[in-house]
A = this chain, B = another copy of it.
Amino acid sequence: MNMLARNTARKGTHYTLFESGALKDWINNSVDIPGLGKVPGKLFLKDAMGLTSTEISINAMPPGQGMPFHHTHRQNEEIYIFIHGQGQVQVDGEMFDVREGSVVKIAPKGERVWRNNGSEMLVYIVMQMREGSLQQWGTGDADVPQKPVVWPA
């Protein structure tokens, strides 16, 4: 049973847990963006979770809808992970299809716009991180404490 109210965070010393709800309910989120007003189907996680390395949004876009303007970034690389539905993306006027499992990296200067041209909700995650900021990764950034893994029965 979910002990957390939706869209609330639980914090420990080294972690934050945020329950964004089932993917089918992401359309009920909304954010207020200065100059744009209320944007339905979008929720930013950085402030809610205290993220220091990325801004993440979780997104649901209904069939027939699309971004009404292009945008670029100044510092940040963006990554889009599509997890349901079908859509199209344009970067610098070049168009390609996206679907469940499509992952798109866009460099800061890429002029980007996207739409849902399918018949189901387009569900996707967008992340922005400072381009070139990663210095080490994977096992090269990891340590393994020598303690047993214990789970309750």
Contacts and interface: CB of A to CB of B under 8 A. Distances in A.
B141 A100 contact: no
Interface of A: 2, 10, 12-23, 25-26, 33-35, 44-46, 49-56, 58, 66-77, 79, 81, 83, 88-92, 94-107, 109-113, 115, 117, 125, 127-139, 141-145, 147, 149, 151-152
B14 A92 contact: yes
B55 A79 contact: no
16 contacts: A15-B91, A16-B104, A17-B96, A35-B139, A52-B133, A53-B54, A53-B76, A54-B54, A54-B77, A54-B127, A70-B149, A71-B143, A72-B142, A74-B142, A76-B137, A129-B133
